[in-house]
């Protein structure tokens, strides 16, 4: 399924629910987390509905590669300091035991000066 009409991230990607966008193209949307853990905290989501990392297939490799290649550019754009003194964290929670709250693959990109409230 490329879209789930009941998925909040699908609705955000389609513009049905507003978000504070960081980046958008035909395949990917990045937007600020509504409950940030750090000075920089945004989500990177594929517009294609993929439930979790446990559902990724080999066919998804180009999309995930594109997403990962965007992370450093968007992290810097949003205020993360350069590596090695700066940096950022990329997290993909998967399933109930992994802390996944929304059943749509997404990467948290988290950074900025420490200490962070969570993480």
Catalytic positions are 106
Cis omega before residue 90 (within 30°)?
A: no
Judge whether 30 and 108 are in contact, CB under 8 Å.
no
Please report how many Cα atoms fall inside a 13 Å half-sphere around the Cα of residue 103, on the Cβ side: 8
Give the integer Cα–Cα distance in Å for 32 and 27: 17
Question: Could you give the CA distance from residue 86 to residue 15 in angstroms, rounded to a whole number?
Answer: 33
């Amino acid at each position: 399924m490329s879209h789930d009409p009941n998925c909040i991230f699908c609705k955000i990607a389609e513009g049905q629910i507003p978000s504070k966008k960081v980046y958008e193209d035909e395949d990917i949307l990045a937007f600020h987390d509504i409950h940030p853990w750090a000075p920089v905290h945004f989500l990177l989501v594929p517009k294609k509905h993929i439930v979790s990392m446990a559902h990724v297939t080999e066919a998804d490799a180009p999309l995930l590669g594109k997403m990962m290649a965007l992370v450093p550019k968007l992290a810097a754009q949003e205020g993360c300091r350069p590596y090695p003194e700066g940096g950022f964290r990329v997290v993909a929670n998967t399933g109930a035991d992994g802390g996944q709250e929304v059943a749509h693959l997404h990467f948290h990109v988290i950074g900025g000066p420490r200490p962070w409230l969570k993480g």
